[in-house]
Amino acid sequence: MTAAREIDQVEVAYGAVSVLRGVSLDVAPGEFVALLGSSGCGKTTLLRAISGFVPVARGAIRVGGRDITHLPPDRRDMAMVFQSYALWLHMTAAQNIAYGLRIRRWRRADIARRVDEILRMLKLEGLGDRPITRLSGGQSQRVALGRALAVNPQILLLDEPLSNLDARIREEVRHEIKAIQKSLGITAIHVTHHREETMIMADRIVILDAGRIAQVGSPEEVYNRPASPFVAAFMGAGNMIRLRVRASGDDLMIEPEPDNGPARIAVTHPARARLMPGPVTAYFRSEQAQLTAPDDVADDARDLVLKGRIVQAAYPGGFWRYGVDVGGQHFLVDDERRLEVGAPVGVRLPAHALHLYPDNGP
Amino acid sequence: MTTMRALGWLPWGILLGVLAFAVFGPLASLLLWSFAEAWYFPHKLPSQWGFRFWEHVFRPTGRAMEALGMSISIALLTVVMCLAISVPAGLALARGRLPWRPLIMLAFLLPQAFPSLPIYINVARIFYEFGLNGTVAGVVLVHTLHGLVYAVWITTAAFAAVDAELEQAARNLGASALRTFFTVTLPLAAPGIVASAIFVFLESLDEFTGSYFVGAPEVTTLPLLMFTASMAGNYQISSITALILLVPSIAFMLVVERFLKPDVLSKVGA
Amino acid sequence: MEGRLSIANFTKAFEFYDRDILFTFVIIGISTALIGLFSVAIGGYLVLGENWTAVAILAWFYRWPLFVPFIVEAQCMYTFLAKNGLMNNGFVALGLVDIETTQSLLDWRGIIITFVWKQTPFVALMVAGAMAALDRATIEAARNLGASRLRILVEIVVPQIRPTLIVGLILSFVTTLSVLSVPLMVSGGTPTMLTVDMAYRINAFGDYGVANALGLISYLMTGAVAWIYLRETMRERERT
């Protein structure tokens, strides 16, 4: 199996605007890779460059060693599931699924068999003769997936295929697509801006920022060890504080300051090893913070304690959500206790929950 | 590689060339004839060029200038008549919840949905009994009948493209209904209404069949003059007259997109 | 007026003008078919074309005839298509035909050329607009599955814009059916179109009876076309 695809220094520009600035990526056969990023980051452009709908200015795209960079889209043997599904309303569900097979000049009986197979696999039995307009959103989505899968593509491209579904159906379909992809052993490339969706579906996540790759890694890696402040913020660690660190043996020590206590940080991964003594920025997730006494000092300085004051309180149900002011910055922390606005508190953060990066000025 | 690319262009170049000849050839013929003082077989192009016939057409006492004045007066009167009907009708059709709305829209379309010539001959007959045949009023009425389709449909679309919430915002701030119409609705719909007015003007200017039955021979519009000249073999005169009729239409084509925005176009017939 | 419409007028109409009725129907039929073909080709190239320069050039000039009034256009064609008109002169200059064998196209062919010239941009404008409004992804999906562009035009694009194409062709059909100036000027001889016959009945004889009978026949042609349209919309409704 040599369907590995390789994206080598690909650059795409619309007129004078560069959208992709040198993106390189290898995808292994059978792998499920997600391209994640906010809108305008170039993820959709990368997918369209792979499928051949936008011309590549520089670089190469190869599949199994074959250069396909300048092949027209109809000769790339990839099947794409579109965000809008792009189903043809003048055809029935079965005709939609059969279209790629007709292009490939399959015999009529073979097409009928294959369409039945696909309908069964996607739990669409009995819906083959339905006009597209009489299908529900979830059914349309399956037909779009079935149309792509029917031709046995080497590579399946998914362009935000779940964004038009209800939250409840989306949950189901995520697992289904993943299961089908694994059982068929197809390589899949999935574009989305939905973090949770990629975490569940992808083997590997590629985070794009302004036309460049910010980080590539397994869901667990990008979540727990974001390579840059951008990735940290994108993966939900949106709270930022400035701290100072110094070396202390093999570890790093966070120096106590008026707004925070000391803490010892183990150097567990390369991003942390690159830290130099001096000012740093630390990113953390609200849900990993706990309220504590303002003068709390953690045992062995394993946790960092920020000193602040409650400035806001709300009860969303089941717990209280407090706005805590720490040295002029505002964080949201949940706690089950009822506390007064104005009360001094400590915000306790486990050392492993802190993502530290060199501080390059304000 | 470059020769390959140049060769790849060749069929497209030839095809575009043929298309261009098909589109512009007849217009070129018109242009050539209007400047040709002599063009006889077997010359492929005029053998003598000049403005002699232009002078002839534009002579102040000439019938052509008279016909041009007549055509423009009729067209302006037609525009006034059409707008007087289409603005209130368009507003009512776009905003009001008229029970028979689709039927009314269809009624305005009918003159266009059926061949107009049989209508004109009967209109001409009725007008004859009222003494309207061969009068300017009669021709204006016929042109209005014809222009109303464009006027009502485009004006309705122009009003429909004005978001009702914009009016509600003005009303909410204390503007009266009338004031809202004149300060919000009308300015926003103006480009579409202007477009419909230009449309009606041009349709009237170029109208032949209705004028032929109702106006001729007493009322001579420019198209009727052109037709007479052409049938009499005065190709230069008829070509120059045709050119005069063509210029406003081409000018309109070049600016139409400024008046008819896609949001209005998408509401036509909706 | 309707009261004077008796069977006699129809008998007379058919007796005198049966050839012209058929002639009109055939001329308009051929014109409409060609208009449909060309407008789909133009719209299709504008939407699916990949050579941006060619697309831009085509988009710029295809719509010119739309704004040329029928009467002006009839005059243009009258001189353009003549035996020694600019078209034949051009062909001779290019060496495509011999100067001795040129022939005038000022007959039924001239009428068809004139109608196609004038109405194609109108239908093409509607068709191209509808094509541009399509969800571009439906085209890309077919491309992605390996369909060629011609195949996409026929199987994906045209079926989706069919209602617009049909409306455009019907409007064009009705328009050409009621144009008097073009058959009057471009084709002098017989057989000729019903509009010319109607004008002749009135101008020569003041015979409103036969003229209206002929008018009603042209309405029947329109009615037949309208029926096709209604059937089409009903089918469309059923499907959704």
C13 pLDDT higher than 50: yes
Mean pLDDT of all residues belonging to chain B: 81
C91: left (phi over 0), alpha (psi -120 to 50) or beta: alpha
Cβ distance C98 to C92 under 8 Å?
Answer: yes
Q: In the structure, what pLDDT confidence band is assigned to residue B262 with cuts at 50, 70 and 90?
A: low
Nearest CA in chain C to A92: C239
Position B3 scores a pLDDT of 58
From first CA to last CA, the distance across chain C in angstroms is 45
Nearest CA in chain C to B239: C75
Stated as kind and residue range, the H or E segment containing C222 is helix C208-239
A88 pLDDT higher than 60: yes
How far apart CA C176 and CA C180 sit, in angstroms, is: 9
pTM over 0.90: no
Q: Which among A113-127, A299-313, B48-62, B86-100 has the top mean pLDDT?
A: A113-127
How far apart CA C38 and CA A2 sit, in angstroms, is: 46
What letter does residue A132 receive in the DSSP assignment? G
- Average pLDDT of C145-168? 90
- Average pLDDT of B17-27? 88
Position A3 scores a pLDDT of 47
Q: In the structure, what pLDDT confidence band is assigned to residue C159 with cuts at 50, 70 and 90?
A: very high
User: What domains, with CATH codes, occur in chain B?
Assistant: 2-50 (no CATH), 61-265 (1.10.3720.10)
Cβ distance B149 to B111 under 8 Å?
Answer: yes
How far apart CA A135 and CA A144 sit, in angstroms, is: 12
Cβ distance B124 to B207 under 8 Å?
Answer: no
**Integer CA distances (angstroms), A242 to A235, A281, A350, C240, in order:** 19, 5, 16, 60
Nearest CA in chain C to A158: C141
How far apart CA B208 and CA B71 sit, in angstroms, is: 11
A119 pLDDT higher than 90: yes
* Most B-contacting residue of C76, C166, C194 (CB-CB within 10 A), to test interface: C76
Is C239 within 8 Å of chain A by CB? yes
Is A51 within 8 Å of chain C by CB? yes
Q: Residues of C with CB below 8 A from A80's CB? A: 140-141, 144
Cα dihedral sign, A63-A65-A66-A69: positive
A2 pLDDT higher than 60: no
Q: How many CB pairs under 8 A join B and C?
A: 161
Nearest residue, CB atoms, C86 vs list B20, B32, B116: B32
Nearest CA in chain B to C69: B206
- pLDDT-wise least confident of B18-22, B48-52, C22-26: B48-52
Percent of chain A's residues with pLDDT above 90: 23
Cβ of C85 and B246 within 8 Å?
A: no
Cα dihedral sign, B8-B12-B14-B15: positive
Q: Residues of A with CB below 8 A from C141's CB? A: 80, 82, 86-88, 147
Position A106 scores a pLDDT of 92
Cβ distance C47 to C59 under 8 Å?
Answer: no
Structure tokens at A358: 């060199």
Cβ of A74 and C159 within 8 Å?
A: no
Q: In the structure, what pLDDT confidence band is assigned to residue B2 with cuts at 50, 70 and 90?
A: low
- Average pLDDT of C96-118? 86
Cβ distance B33 to B25 under 8 Å?
Answer: no
- Average pLDDT of A208-231? 89
**Integer CA distances (angstroms), A190 to A27, A73, B185, in order:** 12, 18, 47
- Average pLDDT of C64-91? 85
Position C154 scores a pLDDT of 94
How far apart CA C34 and CA C24 sit, in angstroms, is: 15
Q: In the structure, what pLDDT confidence band is assigned to residue B184 with cuts at 50, 70 and 90?
A: confident
Cβ distance C86 to B28 under 8 Å?
Answer: yes
- pLDDT-wise least confident of A318-322, A327-331, B100-104, B153-157: B100-104
In three state form, how does the secondary structure of chain B look? CHHHHHHHHHHHHHHHHHHHHHHHHHHHHHHHHHHEEECCCCCCCCCEECCHHHHHHHCCCCHHHHHHHHHHHHHHHHHHHHHHHHHHHHHHHHHCCCCCHHHHHHHHHHHHHCCHHHHHHHHHHHHHHHCCCCCHHHHHHHHHHHHHHHHHHHHHHHHHCCCHHHHHHHHHCCCCHHHHHHHHHHHHHHHHHHHHHHHHHHHHHHCCHHHHHHHCCCCCCHHHHHHHHHHCCCHHHHHHHHHHHHHHHHHHHHHHHHHCCHHHHCCCCC
Hey, is A55 helix, strand or coil?
A: coil
Is C135 within 8 Å of chain A by CB? yes
Position B264 scores a pLDDT of 66
Listed residue (B50, B67, B49) closest to B58, CA to CA: B67
Who has greater pLDDT, A220 or C240? A220
Cβ of C84 and B42 within 8 Å?
A: yes
Alpha carbon A82 to chain centroid, angstroms? 18
Cβ of C218 and B226 within 8 Å?
A: no
Cβ distance A150 to A98 under 8 Å?
Answer: yes
Who has greater pLDDT, B100 or C195? C195
Q: In the structure, what pLDDT confidence band is assigned to residue C240 with cuts at 50, 70 and 90?
A: low
Position C1 scores a pLDDT of 42
Nearest residue, CB atoms, B249 vs list C54, C67, C198: C67
Is A99 within 8 Å of chain C by CB? yes
Q: Which among A190-194, A261-265, C63-67 has the top mean pLDDT?
A: A190-194
Cβ of C117 and B206 within 8 Å?
A: no
B18 pLDDT higher than 90: no
Nearest CA in chain B to C86: B29
Structure tokens at B178: 């009338």
pLDDT tens digit sequence for A333-360? 888 888 888 889 888 888 888 888 887 7
- pLDDT-wise least confident of B65-79, C29-43, C60-74: C60-74
